[in-house]
Amino acid sequence: MAKNVVIVGAQWGDEGKGKVVDILSEYADVIVRFQGGNNAGHTVIVEQEKFILHLIPSGILRKGKKCIIGNGVVVDPAILLEEIDMLLAKGQFQDSSNLLISEDAHLIMPYHKKLDVVRERVRGQYKIGTTGRGIGPAYEDKVARCGIRCGDLLREEVLRGKLKTNLLEKNHLLQNIYHEDCFAMHDIYEQYISYAEKIAPYITNTSIYLDEAIKAGKRILFEGAQGALLDVDHGTYPFVTSSNTVAGEAATGSGIGPTKIDKVVGVSKAYTTRVGEGPFPTELKGEEGMRLREQGGEYGATTGRPRRCGWFDAVAGIYSARINGLDGMILTKLDVLDNLDKIMICIGYRYDNNILKDFPSDSDILNKCEPVYEIMDGWKEPTSNVTKFSRLPKNAQKYIKRLEELIEVSIIIVSVGAGRKEAIMIENPFQ
């Protein structure tokens, strides 16, 4: 029986991890976010009510679950407090002791958000298409060893000192390179001290907490954000986010050893989407893409941007299975394909008179790849009410089996709608 399960996005994010984590958190005691920040938007629908969570693990929507924001996350305190207030107002945050925030998680500061936006502006046509939430600049400071951490909020003198040093450099950059206004030390300091008062009760050593939970035999669900193809090392660089989004980060970003992880499960849509810039071989640029977008409600949960849509890419799927070490895959939004006559699956890339079976690491090459498709018949029947695999239309079963065969990973859950109950559980990763 698996006790500690990692859930990661297997594509370019937005695979429906929020819903999956919400379903699986029923079987977990602790739910941990381990990377990213409020660039993520995890949508969960509970009894017709829609929740979009950017920072707090989706497990908060189930009573009695401990939710942890791990050291690998970058925290914008204003967004965190907004999220807590939203949950309080909706009666979903009865017990504040259920949220713990790592003292080692780095803070997103106002200058990070400003730098994110102005750098995108300067990049012009070469922009990355970031969410503008300051994620990249916050991780830059972490790696440059000048970042300010949640624990620093509890020590006023440390906060003041670090802020002063950082502002010297950031204001110089903003003023002289980007011709922007400077930030006043006093304003930021006062603002962050006021956040500190409200956030202090949640800040703790979450690595120790997790170690004790593991020793006590608790079940832990590690909730990834974004997706493998946005990983800063393994994704479509430079069109990636600034953290490691693959399963290995579940250990580093939460302060447990990798030997404590029992199972790694990927989440993938039954087709593919992407927001922001960067290569996307199976993208459908015409009417078919627009139809998928409308049918699937493919608009960003964080920025509202329309998502680019395309067919399932098995080359990317195989790659994602490899770099994450997937034990299983969860397929979401199968119902979005219900009305199609024909469904395509990309099984290779045509590049320079060759057929590539391996996902190329160079984004320029990937941009020039033409997908090689296998065509399958659609099922033309609604699937949203189906709760058993054997009750799915035969062609839908064939499609799922074919995807499994191509990516060499078992599909263990199929999601057929937005609600909690609209899912076919073939195998529970915790059992």
Q: Does 242 interact with ligand IMP (rule: CB under 6 A)?
A: yes
Q: Does 310 interact with ligand IMP (rule: CB under 6 A)?
A: no
Q: Does 244 interact with ligand IMP (rule: CB under 6 A)?
A: no
Residue 272 has φ and ψ, to the nearest 5°, of: -130, 145
Tokens for 153, please give them: 């909020």
Q: Does 71 interact with ligand IMP (rule: CB under 6 A)?
A: no
* Closer residue to ligand IMP, CB minimum distance, 312 or 379: 312
Helix axes 314-324, 394-407, angle to 10 degrees: 50
Q: What is the smallest separation between the CB atom of 55 and ligand IMP, expressed in angstroms?
A: 11
Told to judge if 179 belongs to the known catalytic residues of this protein, a careful annotator would answer no
Query: 6 in the Ramachandran plot: left (φ > 0), alpha (ψ -120 to 50) or beta?
Result: beta
Q: Does 133 interact with ligand IMP (rule: CB under 6 A)?
A: yes
Told to judge if 338 belongs to the known catalytic residues of this protein, a careful annotator would answer no
Q: Which of 38, 43, 71, 131 binds ligand IMP (CB under 6 A)?
A: 131
In b/e form, how buried is each residue of 238-277, taking b as 16+ CB within 10 angstroms? ebbbbbbbbbbbbbbbbbbeeebbbbbbbbbbbbbbbbbb
Q: Which of 150, 225, 267, 309 binds ligand IMP (CB under 6 A)?
A: 225
Q: Does 128 interact with ligand IMP (rule: CB under 6 A)?
A: yes
* Closer residue to ligand IMP, CB minimum distance, 174 or 275: 275
Q: What angle do CA 273, 397, 221 make, to 5 degrees?
A: 60
Q: What is Dmax (Cα atoms) for the chain?
A: 66
Q: What is the smallest separation between the CB atom of 39 and ligand IMP, expressed in angstroms?
A: 4
x/- mask, ligand IMP, residues 146-175, rule CB under 6 A, reads ------------------------------
24, 430 in Cβ contact below 8 A? yes
Q: What is the smallest separation between the CB atom of 12 and ligand IMP, expressed in angstroms?
A: 6
Which one from 22, 42, 104, 152 is the annotated catalytic residue? 42
Site for ligand IMP in 254-283 (CB under 6 A): 275-276
Site for ligand IMP in 2-21 (CB under 6 A): 13-14
Site for ligand IMP in 28-67 (CB under 6 A): 39-41
Applying CB under 6 A, the span of 88-96, 129-137, 346-354, 387-395 interacting with ligand IMP comes to 129-137
416, 379 in Cβ contact below 8 A? no
Tokens for 184, please give them: 């006043």
Q: What is the smallest separation between the CB atom of 17 and ligand IMP, expressed in angstroms?
A: 9
Query: Which of 60, 407, 41, 84 has its CA nearest to residue 221?
Result: 60
Distance between CA atoms of 423 and 52, rounded to whole angstroms? Answer: 19
Distance between CA atoms of 4 and 31, rounded to whole angstroms? Answer: 10
User: Catalytic residues, which ones?
Assistant: 14, 42
Which residues contact ligand IMP by CB under 6 A? 13-14, 39-41, 128-131, 133, 135-136, 225-226, 230, 239, 241-242, 275-276
